[in-house]
Amino acid sequence: MLYELRTSILNEFAIVDLSSIKEKYYEKYYNYFIEGFNDRRFLEHKKLVFTAQQGYNSNNIVKIDYLKCSSPVPIFSQRFVKTLHNKLSQDIEFIPCKVICNNIIYDFYVGRILNFIQLIDKEKSEYYELSEGEKIIDIPVYSSSVNMDFYIARDSEEKNLYAITDKMKEMLTEYNFNIILKEV
């Protein structure tokens, strides 16, 4: 079974936005974190800083282990990384970041997913067409024939989409992480 990670804060504004990377560096950020390119030189002199929207506050942000981000990257708590860093080292690289919420700075980690697997069933998924004719996935349908020998992976073509397996779900339950899962 595959699952999407969800923040446990049930508020449409419980989202963080990347605020430290200027537009001219965003492509490098996207290529590194989403496309899987290995050029991380842009990080040498840049700190990753995210700004929390109003759905997060200083009371709830310290209690959760996963933040929803407006760019398709998972952001995890220090507790999550401290507990699972070694077990997940083949699947995800954790890069320290700061999250500003109500003018207070919190330490989190951006997850750079290392696995790229065909997760999406392209035939069953629904698409919409742009005016130029390009098709964009609208309602993804995850394949039932995925080899589940991983914890977390990105789709190899629709790289904005990622999912976790039952193996990771079991660890999240075992350590009682404050993360909601949606079966996909």
pLDDT tens digit sequence for 117-127 = 999 999 999 99
Instruction: Specify the pLDDT at position 105.
Output: 98
Mind listing the pLDDT tens digit for each residue in 60-94? Answer: 999 999 999 999 999 999 999 999 999 999 999 99
SS3 readout for the chain: CEEEEECCCCCCCCCEEECCCCHHHHHHHHHHHHHCCCCCHHHCCCCCEEEECCCCCCCCCCCCCEECECCCCCEEEHHHHHHHCCCCCCCEEEEEEEEEECCEEEEEEEEEECCEECCECCCCCEEEECCCCCEEEEECCECCCCCCCCCEEEECCCCCCEEEEHHHHHHHHHCCCCCEEEEC
Q: What is the mean pLDDT of the chain?
A: 95
> What is the pTM assigned to this prediction?
0.93
Q: Which domain holds residue 151?
A: 2-183
Say how far apart CA 26 and CA 152 lie, in whole Å: 24
- Per the structure block, which two tokens stand in for 115? 């696995």
**Contact assessment for residue 16 and residue 75, using Cβ atoms and an 8 Å cutoff:** yes
Q: Which pLDDT belongs to residue 77?
A: 99
Cβ 154 vs Cβ 177: under 8 Å: no
Return the pLDDT at 181.
98
Total number of domains in the chain: 1
pLDDT for 54: 96
**Cβ pair 72, 89 in contact under 8 A:** no
Tens digits of residue pLDDT in 132-170 = 888 889 999 999 999 999 999 999 999 999 999 999 999
